[in-house]
Amino acid sequence: MSRTAGRIGWLLVWAVVFCDIGSSVYYTPGILYDTAGDRAGIFVLFTMLAFLLLCVKVVEVTRRFSGGGGVVSVADKAFGPWWGCAGGQLIMVDYFLTVAISAVCAVYYVDSVIPLGALILPVTLACLAALAGLNIVGIKESALVSTVLAGSAFVVNLAVVATALLRAPPEILAAVPQEFLSLRTLTPTQALVGYSGAWLAFSGLESLSQLAPAMRDLHATPRRGMIAVAVSVVLTAPALTFLSTATLSPSIKSSASERLVAELASVWGGFGLQIAVVLTAVSLLILAANTAIIGNYHVQLALTRRDFLPQSLGALSHRFQTPYRAILLGTVVPAIVLLAVGGDIGRLGELYAFGLLGSLVLMSVGIDVLRYRDGERGWMYWVGVLTSVAVVLAFAVNLVSKPTATLFGGGLTAFGMLIALGTHSGWFERTLARLPRMAPPQEVERADIPFFTVAQARELPKDPTPGILVASRGATRKIFREACDRARSRGQRRVYLLYVDEIPGLFYPQLAAPTPEGLAVLHAGCEVIRELGIEAVPVWGLSHSAPGTVVDAAQNLGCDTLVIGATQRTFLWHALRGRFIQELLRLLPENIRLIVVG
């Protein structure tokens, strides 16, 4: 399939993953302070060692599963399909809480400079509604925007650390080593609870494996990207946590625990630095929430393809070609959670740990199993086993110390597994089929539509003259007639018909065939072209950029004429998804003629 591969290097990988994992630093200090007090920084520092070891395994997941899938693919391969389903349910719980905690935390940071009071929760719900709408339309993420936001946040965080170290009086900074001395009075139970809670600072690792299909390569790119992420986190997360808990007054830490980094910047850097923190924090947190929504619906689609979730959940919007039901589920559940806890960051942090640690356990242990099957017994294997022990310990402690999280996460996962059992047996689909508008989409039989990828189509015998490519997202007869008339005037017998499944965002779903809508267009287009006496060659592509894939196909298939339909898309579509014809004209070489059929 054509994915316009090879454009995401290590810098963009760093930007996307850091936008996710780096957002954790904005709420972790306050959540940990509520449970561990001034020792929060110590727990982040100690847990970071296990995090660094886990980074090695995440890079290996990316290499082993080039099609993405993360914990779902790992658990499926290591333990079997039902464990893959369980991994999917756990990561969905993680994504639900990521959306909720990131969105509300962003609003709390706004509240630090623009008091919102009782409006915090309504504003957060409005943000979730806006994100749902943007994803249903299919917002086209910019690699440059991700890189700028990640770079800005990293620089501002370093500025906060440097300013606090330079301006805080020595007697206040002396509180940092005092925290280490307090470890002598720490009980084993307190140590374990603090350690398990500190994993909250490192959530977001799953983003790397989801980027695998779009990476330039699966060797240097994920390794360099993860090294950059690890360095960025090491330089910011422990330092910001230590400085927030050690240099801020108890009154600030208790009254503004949801936005301690902004308060730290305000105390030692003034209003200007506080504004810089708020702007970068809000941008990064909203982007993290959006990334979690995208990751969530991709997991849902992966489970529907494995028959563990109803096919109707993956139905695409006829207008925007996005899985609107999966997107709505990925935003409605976080909204319900926010309402249930009243937007309380501390309670959200407790609920967060179950899905996060559960999915990390399956991923880490799964890699150990795969290494064992491959005959690996060296020191790296045993370091990996030690990493799994560390993650399993954190998960086990969390199960006992946070019963509410266990009840919520375990209940949601169990409910998801029941849905999977009912779906896999066919009972759930038969029940849904009786409900209005919930019947699974009627798919055209794939056997009746043999399609080609661009690479396969270029191997077919070619006409002696340059060919004609018609790219369409609808079965408009006059577009196909125009292409056929031009082919006939040249004495050609063949027309290439291209349909591109355009995927918004940066993650690729594990699609091996066109969507039902794509199949329908290819089927209808082939029928019309054949009626007009011309042979049709159906070609399918999968890409984040439809214009780029169309140009790539035209060049690879040796076509000098491209026929498309005039756009009927709205201003909102153009604003969020880009202008197809303008982008096409920018990329189209001079030797290819563009025909727009109105």
Beta partners for 542? Answer: 501
DSSP conformation letters of 261-279: HHHHHHHHHHHHHHHHHHH
For the beta sheet containing 535-543, the strands, ordered from the edge strand earlier in sequence to the opposite edge, are 535-543, 494-502, 467-471, 559-565, 593-597
- The answer to whether 438 touches 312, Cβ cutoff 8 Å, is yes
Task: Residue 562: count other Cβ atoms within 10 Å of its Cβ.
Answer: 23
Residues forming CATH 3.40.50.620 domain(s) in the chain: 446-597
- pTM for the complete prediction? 0.81
Structure tokens at 93: 């719980």
CATH class of the structural domain 446-597: alpha beta
Query: Which alpha helices (DSSP H) does 433-559 contain, by range?
Result: 454-457, 477-489, 516-531, 546-556
DSSP conformation letters of 419-450: HHHHHHHTHHHHHHTTSTT-SPP-PPPGGG--
- The answer to whether 99 touches 297, Cβ cutoff 8 Å, is no
Instruction: Quote the pLDDT of residue 4.
Output: 42
Instruction: Quote the pLDDT of residue 444.
Output: 46
Q: What is the pLDDT along the chain (598 residues), one digit of tens a residue?
A: 334 444 678 898 898 888 888 889 999 888 888 888 888 888 898 899 899 999 999 999 998 988 777 888 899 999 999 999 999 999 999 999 999 999 999 999 999 999 998 899 999 999 999 999 888 877 665 566 778 888 999 999 999 999 999 998 888 888 778 777 777 788 888 888 888 888 888 888 788 887 887 787 888 889 999 999 999 999 999 999 999 988 888 888 888 888 999 999 999 999 999 999 999 999 999 989 988 898 888 888 888 888 898 888 877 776 777 788 999 999 999 999 999 999 888 888 888 888 889 999 999 999 999 999 999 988 999 999 999 999 999 999 999 988 888 898 889 999 989 999 988 887 766 776 666 655 555 544 444 567 888 888 888 887 788 889 998 877 678 888 889 998 888 888 889 999 988 776 656 565 566 777 788 888 888 989 999 899 999 998 887 778 888 999 998 888 998 998 765 555 444 444 456 777 788 888 888 898 888 6
Task: Residue 589: count other Cβ atoms within 10 Å of its Cβ.
Answer: 9
Of 22, 32, 23, 27, nearest to 245 by C-alpha is: 32
Instruction: Quote the pLDDT of residue 5.
Output: 41
Residues forming CATH 1.20.1740.10 domain(s) in the chain: 10-425
- The answer to whether 75 touches 399, Cβ cutoff 8 Å, is no
Residue 116, amino acid:
L
Instruction: Quote the pLDDT of residue 464.
Output: 81
Instruction: Quote the pLDDT of residue 571.
Output: 47
Residue 350, amino acid:
E
Beta partners for 537? Answer: 496
Helix H or strand E encompassing 188: helix 188-197
| Spatial distance between the Cα atoms of 409 and 406, rounded to a whole number of angstroms | 5
Instruction: Quote the pLDDT of residue 60.
Output: 92
| Spatial distance between the Cα atoms of 487 and 467, rounded to a whole number of angstroms | 8
Phi-psi region for residue 186, left (φ > 0), alpha (ψ -120 to 50) or beta? beta
> 10-425 belongs to which homologous superfamily?
Amino acid/polyamine transporter I (1.20.1740.10)
Beta partners for 137? Answer: none
